[in-house]
Amino acid sequence: MRSIRVLLALVVLPVLVLGQKLSDFEREILMLQDQRSLGGGKLISFLANQSAQLRCRALIALANIQDTSSSPSMASMLNDPDSKVRAAAAFALGQTGPSRFQDSLLSRLRLESDSSVSARIIESLGKIGNESALDEVTEYQGAGGTAFLNAERALSVARFAIRGLKNEQSIWFCFEQLAHTSADVRWKALFALWRAAPHGLIDIEIAKRESLLTHVALDPDVDVRQNFVTLLGRSRPGYARDIVQSMQAEDRKNPNWQVEVQLVRTIAALSASEPEMLNDLIEYLGTSNDHVRIAALQALSGLSRQTVEASADTTKLRQELTRLANTKSPSAEIARGEAFVALAKLFPEEFSRKNFMAEKGLTTREKTKVIEALSFIPSGRSLSITLVALDDADVRVAMAAWDFVRRFLTPSTLSRIQSGNQEWGDARSVLYRKTLNALSRKDMAITHLVSNALADTAYFRLFRDGGFADSLVLALKNAFMLLSSPDDVEAMQAGASAMGRIKDTTFIPTLEKALTDPDKTVATAAAIALRAITGNDYSAKIPKSTKPLHVDYDWSTLESLSPTARAVIKTSKGTITLQLLKEDAPFTVLSFVKLTRKNFYNGLPFHRVVPDFVIQGGDPRGDGWGGPGFAIRSEASLAGFGRGAAGIASAGKDTEGCQFFITHQPTPHLDGRYTVFGRVIGGQDVVDRIQIGDTIEQVTIE
């Protein structure tokens, strides 16, 4: 990665004149970007400014505003004499589109001699181009044909594949790169291949290149190995088992948890056709690495009972899952919860032998996983326990119940509830009362989950057939009216969607009011719901731009930050140090710094961990639903999501707040979609050890 990072650094724009006061023009551009405004043509006028720095800054602002009316102006800047301006123009077009501007990008690519600019054009073509553009990217030989550009071409192929565009030429190109001397080229080609899988040609090429791929399986680069094993799990070639087992043998000599997580997932995928591989998966349950053990349990939960029953190791698996489900200790809490789910799904009778919910001292996290486990056992007893939890005093327990009660709402289960089957008792009337109670609870997370349930037409029909529809319609409308941007955006989106699914005209005035909501995602959801109810198109009434509810143009604080400003995050597992990227995300960094100086993050937990993806924390609620009381704008930039990148979580464009995540591995599919505001410069090993429930003890800015 080092060589690519050096080259990318050449493209990173001087968004702020570090260590100096911002000029009036720089401030104006940043404010227009934050306000999502073209300023009556003012922002476009900066593209003609003599200062290349201001032209760059204006293009990045346009990339964030994403107003397609400005695309012709962006395209004209592809011919700017300054290479950094051309790179910014290419990036802005990729963020904004529309696809017809691929011809402008291709024309520039054929002429471009600066590899940094070519890389940005290739990236943007992957975001907006069609299949003819994909062909040009794979055939491209300009700007020296360096390893850097080969890697960028492979990533562009992946971006095309994510959008559903893939062809034989691009697949052949990626396979050819697997013999490249650069590890960056190799892993990015593999990333593109597994993004394109399943595909018939991939299977054919894997069979033809067995010797090469056997070598790739032992590649010294971790990113190469984990992307390769992911490809095996997606494509599932006939000899995958032999390669996977050779990789396991090699990994035992020099274990790497990231590769092991991907091995676990691939073994699970292969087990469907080769149940004898189940024993390989069981072995990972005894590992000392939490990520690997949790990934193994989650992978087992994804297997069918038929696959497990076809294995000679069924008894061994049942015993191991039972052991983990009965292991009570703070250090095993997360793994125990995943064991509950796997045991209930694969061996429901074994799980039902013990009433885990009645266990003394059961933690909140364990309760939520018991509820999830019960959702895989559709019995009256399971539903009864879940119904009790729907209005639990602990919001997180109630949230889990509302999240998983929907699994009981299958046609057969609903039929039994409606029939008056004795096992199901008065489930319908209980569900009705619980739904009303939940909507009056005034908790936006609960409202969100109940709205999702009501959006299920079968669930709502259960009450409509019982004569309860009118009161639920009123309750949903009232609950929605208590929500407000920006804290409740996700709940408002869900509420509007539920109204559109229910299609009751009572909702029309409420939804029409939501069309003017400051959050554009809410207004859009309201327009979609109104169309479902009335048949009319309300899209023209959605504001083209909205003023931010929260603005903070504290230039003195921003300018006071050193070019090497760092955030030191002391956690319960050790210290993580971030280099803050105020050049790339000035307002995000400003918000993070000011929250930090108020001790906002001190004592908050890491509430989300996805092995080999991200850790996430900074939520004052601790459940993923909390915010700081305001929202800040998304800040797309030329910075990418490599390993150790720090980004801001969001529920859609311009809904960012205080929650942040740090990546375990390169995640290029997040580039341009989430704000990168920092990168780990110390303590990545701590990031790799963090688990759900670990805490942020203190954050300081240096």
Taking CA 102 as the corner, what is the angle to CA 96 and CA 108, rounded to the nearest 5 degrees? 110
Give the number of other Cβ atoms within 10 Å of residue 377's Cβ: 18
Rounded to whole angstroms, how far apart are CA atoms 522 and 493?
A: 5
| Position 1 pLDDT exceeds 60 | no
Is the CB of residue 72 less than 8 Å from the CB of residue 97? no
| Position 295 pLDDT exceeds 80 | yes
pLDDT band at 67 (very low <50, low <70, confident <90, very high): very high
Q: In what helix (H) or strand (E) does residue 73 lie, and over which residues does it extend?
A: helix 71-76
| Position 549 pLDDT exceeds 90 | no
**Annotated domain spans of the chain:** 2-250, 407-547, 555-701
Taking CA 50 as the corner, what is the angle to CA 106 and CA 57, rounded to the nearest 5 degrees? 60
Q: In what helix (H) or strand (E) does residue 580 lie, and over which residues does it extend?
A: strand 574-580
Percent of the chain beyond pLDDT 70? Answer: 95
Residues 6 or more apart in contact with residue 676 via CB below 8 angstroms: 581, 584, 585, 637, 639, 640, 641, 645, 646, 647
Q: What pLDDT sits at residue 337?
A: 97
Percent of the chain beyond pLDDT 90? Answer: 84
Higher per-residue confidence, 110 vs 15: 110
For residues 270-283, average pLDDT? 92
Lowest mean pLDDT across 338-342, 405-409, 413-417, 511-515? 413-417
Is the CB of residue 693 less than 8 Å from the CB of residue 333? yes
In sequence order, the β-bridge partners of residue 646 are: 662, 678
| Position 20 pLDDT exceeds 60 | yes
Q: What pLDDT sits at residue 518?
A: 86
For the chain, what is the radius of gyration of the CA atoms? 27
Lowest mean pLDDT across 166-170, 189-193, 285-289, 330-334? 330-334
pLDDT in tens, 97-145: 899 999 999 999 999 999 999 999 999 999 999 999 999 999 998 866 6
Rounded to whole angstroms, how far apart are CA atoms 439 and 537?
A: 29
| Position 12 pLDDT exceeds 60 | no
Give the mean pLDDT of the chain: 93
Is residue 415 packed enough to be buried (19+ CB in 10 Å), middle (13-18) or exposed (0-12)?
Answer: exposed
pLDDT in tens, 310-320: 999 999 999 99
Q: Which of 302, 289, 294 is nearest to 324 (CA)?
A: 294
And the tokens for 278? 């189940």
Rounded to whole angstroms, how far apart are CA atoms 131 and 344?
A: 46
Across 210-246, b (16+ Cβ under 10 Å) vs e yields eeebeebbebebbbbbbbbbbbbbbbbbeebbebbee
pLDDT in tens, 198-238: 999 999 999 899 889 999 999 999 999 999 999 999 999 88
Is the CB of residue 561 less than 8 Å from the CB of residue 18? no
For residues 323-335, average pLDDT? 92
pLDDT in tens, 432-488: 999 999 999 999 999 999 999 999 888 898 889 889 999 999 999 999 999 998 889
For residues 406-424, average pLDDT? 73
Is the CB of residue 60 less than 8 Å from the CB of residue 13? yes
Topology, domain 2-250 = Leucine-rich Repeat Variant (1.25.10)
Q: Which of 26, 101, 107 is nearest to 60 (CA)?
A: 26
Rounded to whole angstroms, how far apart are CA atoms 38 and 43?
A: 5
Is the CB of residue 103 less than 8 Å from the CB of residue 121? no
And the tokens for 543? 């504001």
Q: What pLDDT sits at residue 425?
A: 62
In sequence order, the β-bridge partners of residue 645 are: 679
| Position 421 pLDDT exceeds 90 | no
| Position 21 pLDDT exceeds 90 | no
| Position 568 pLDDT exceeds 60 | yes
pTM for the complete prediction?
Answer: 0.92
| Position 7 pLDDT exceeds 80 | no
And the tokens for 209? 């290149």
**164, 191, 263, 268 from 234: Cα distances, Å:** 15, 11, 12, 11
For residues 551-579, average pLDDT? 96
Q: What pLDDT sits at residue 175?
A: 97
Higher per-residue confidence, 546 vs 371: 371
| Position 530 pLDDT exceeds 90 | yes
pLDDT in tens, 482-507: 999 888 999 999 999 999 999 999 99
Q: What pLDDT sits at residue 153?
A: 98
pLDDT band at 563 (very low <50, low <70, confident <90, very high): confident
| Position 2 pLDDT exceeds 80 | no
Q: In what helix (H) or strand (E) does residue 44 lie, and over which residues does it extend?
A: helix 42-45
Taking CA 555 as the corner, what is the angle to CA 595 and CA 631, rounded to the nearest 5 degrees? 45
DSSP state of 143: G
Residue with tokens 């090497």: 564
| Position 281 pLDDT exceeds 60 | yes
| Position 4 pLDDT exceeds 50 | no
Q: What pLDDT sits at residue 519?
A: 86
Domain 555-701 has CATH 2.40.100.10: yes
